[in-house]
């Protein structure tokens, strides 16, 4: 059966015509679906006949929560079970400005970043657009509050599932549905250069983050296999083209790892690399993952690194650590459950 959340309004209209129904019903159905109804019978302004047709054609894709960890700071980490019994993680973070959700785009990840728990478990498949959207609906249902921000920074490389991620963005953004503004949706990539250039051409308002994590090719290659495919100069060139085309600021994510990429020399090299780019640097004290080789930089090293960027007029902030008392590193909850072979 087809997941109704995979369909945008135009596709729903076509399906309704096929079913011998009026196409204007599509907006009504889309609205119900994205209000998070749990049954077709809850779509009370549709005829019983239409509800029955929908039940025969579609699945509502309701996730089962199989684990939930709640941090003292309000961060909630969910392990959801999908229809095919696979599991994915979603994290809810509470900020003063509202609820922000970090969604997964794939079941596992092929990219193999050394600092990431997701790279330690097998890649299974990409999520459909509906499976991405369902993460927002399932969390909204659980907390009974609106989600105002979405970041594609959970398990998976969003640009390795480009079409479904883009479709999910359009669906999340739709005023008849969740109506989350493009500026409140952010996509993070480890640096798939052709897709960065493609994303620049989409004409959407969403923001872009780049997992950079190193100031040069040598360090980047030691941390991220993707650096073997695209050099740091190719990546930075694509970022420049993106900002020129969209006039949108890029965020560079930089996980500070003790003794690997956190020296004052590294900070200066990073400042040279990013000079003149419309950007912001998000410094992330790396989460230690079980059996991982990386450890967190000291507060003093983090502060020195940031001071150098400040002096060199590169805007940088240190990300507040949320959920540090739960398994908050991306992929950790799922990995612990799966008990798969750890590399
Ligand atoms: S950091 Fe992102 S791209 Fe890299 S392995 Fe983890 S999920 Fe994949």
CATH (domain of 34): 1.10.150.530
- Report the CATH number that the domain containing residue 82 is assigned in CATH: 3.20.20.70
Q: Are residues 157 and 209 in the same domain?
A: yes
Closest atom of ligand 1 relative to the 118 alpha carbon: 6
Q: Are residues 17 and 141 in the same domain?
A: no
Beta strands in 4-124 (DSSP E): 58-59, 64-70, 76-81, 87-95, 98-102, 106-107
Q: Are residues 260 and 321 in the same domain?
A: yes
Q: Are residues 110 and 26 in the same domain?
A: no
Tell me which DSSP letter residue 63 carries.
P
Look up 202 and say whether it is catalytic.
Answer: no
Q: Are residues 196 and 305 in the same domain?
A: yes
Active-site entry in 21, 89, 131, 327: 89
288: CA distance to ligand 1 center in Å? 15
Q: Are residues 95 and 42 in the same domain?
A: no
Q: Are residues 8 and 141 in the same domain?
A: no
155: CA distance to ligand 1 center in Å? 7
Q: Please tell me the predicted confidence (pLDDT) of residue 334.
A: 58
Q: Please tell me the predicted confidence (pLDDT) of residue 339.
A: 43
pLDDT over 50 at 289, yes or no:
yes
81: CA distance to ligand 1 center in Å? 21
Q: How far apart are CA 177 and CA 141, in angstroms?
A: 15
| Ligand 1, atom 4, residue with closest C-alpha | 113
**Mean pLDDT confidence for 124-142:** 98
Test site for ligand 1: of 105, 122, 157, most ligand atoms within 8 A of the Cβ = 157
| 101 lies in some domain | yes
Q: Please tell me the predicted confidence (pLDDT) of residue 143.
A: 96
Last residue of a domain, one of 59, 76, 108: 59
Q: Are residues 19 and 109 in the same domain?
A: no
Read off the pLDDT band of 122 (50, 70, 90).
Answer: confident
**Mean pLDDT confidence for 1-21:** 97
47: CA distance to ligand 1 center in Å? 45
Look up 113 and say whether it is catalytic.
Answer: no
Beta strands in 105-238 (DSSP E): 106-107, 125-126, 149-152, 185-189, 207-211
**Mean pLDDT confidence for 202-212:** 95
- Evaluate whether 89 touches 331 at the Cβ level (below 8 Å): yes
Q: What is the largest CA-CA distance in the chain?
A: 69
pLDDT over 70 at 159, yes or no:
yes
| 343 lies in some domain | no
| 125 lies in some domain | yes
Mean pLDDT lowest among 28-32, 120-124, 190-194, 303-307: 120-124
| 120 lies in some domain | yes
Q: Are residues 79 and 118 in the same domain?
A: yes
Last residue of a domain, one of 40, 59, 78: 59
Beta bridge mates, 87: 81
Last residue of a domain, one of 59, 80, 102: 59
Q: Are residues 37 and 171 in the same domain?
A: no
Domain containing 263 equals 64-338
Number of domains in the chain: 2
Mean pLDDT lowest among 54-68, 140-154, 270-284, 293-307: 293-307
Q: Are residues 45 and 81 in the same domain?
A: no
pLDDT over 90 at 59, yes or no:
yes
Q: Are residues 94 and 42 in the same domain?
A: no
């Amino acid at each position: 059966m087809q997941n109704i959340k995979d369909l945008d309004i135009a596709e729903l209209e076509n399906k309704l015509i096929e079913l011998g129904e009026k196409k204007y019903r599509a907006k009504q159905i889309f609205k119900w679906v994205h209000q998070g109804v749990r049954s077709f019978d809850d779509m009370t302004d549709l005829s019983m006949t239409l509800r029955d047709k929908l039940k025969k054609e579609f699945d509502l894709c309701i996730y089962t929560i199989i684990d939930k960890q709640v941090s003292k700071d309000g961060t909630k980490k969910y392990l959801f079970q999908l229809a095919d019994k696979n599991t994915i993680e979603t994290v809810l973070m509470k900020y003063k400005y509202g609820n922000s959700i970090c969604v997964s785009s794939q079941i596992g990840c092929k990219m193999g970043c050394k600092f990431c728990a997701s790279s330690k478990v097998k890649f299974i498949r990409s999520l459909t657009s509906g499976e991405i959207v369902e993460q927002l609906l399932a969390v909204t249902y659980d907390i009974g509050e609106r989600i105002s921000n979405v970041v594609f920074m959970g398990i998976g490389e969003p640009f390795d599932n480009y079409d479904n991620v883009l479709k999910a963005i359009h669906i999340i953004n739709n005023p008849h549905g969740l109506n989350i503004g493009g500026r409140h949706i952010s996509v993070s990539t480890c640096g798939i250069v052709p897709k960065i250039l493609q994303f620049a051409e989409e004409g959407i308002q969403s923001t872009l983050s780049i997992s950079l994590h190193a100031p040069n090719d040598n360090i980047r290659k030691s941390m991220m296999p993707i650096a073997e495919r695209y050099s740091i100069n190719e990546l930075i060139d694509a970022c420049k083209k993106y900002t020129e085309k969209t006039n949108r600021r890029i965020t560079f994510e930089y996980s500070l790892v003790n003794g690997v990429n956190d020296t004052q020399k590294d900070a200066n090299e990073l400042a040279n690399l990013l000079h003149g780019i419309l950007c912001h640097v998000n410094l992330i004290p790396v989460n230690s993952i079980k059996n991982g080789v990386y450890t967190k930089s000291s507060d003093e090293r983090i502060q020195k690194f940031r001071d150098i960027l400040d002096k060199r007029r590169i805007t940088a902030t240190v990300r507040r650590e949320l959920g540090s008392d739960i398994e908050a590193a991306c992929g950790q909850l799922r990995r612990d459950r799966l008990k798969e072979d750890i590399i």
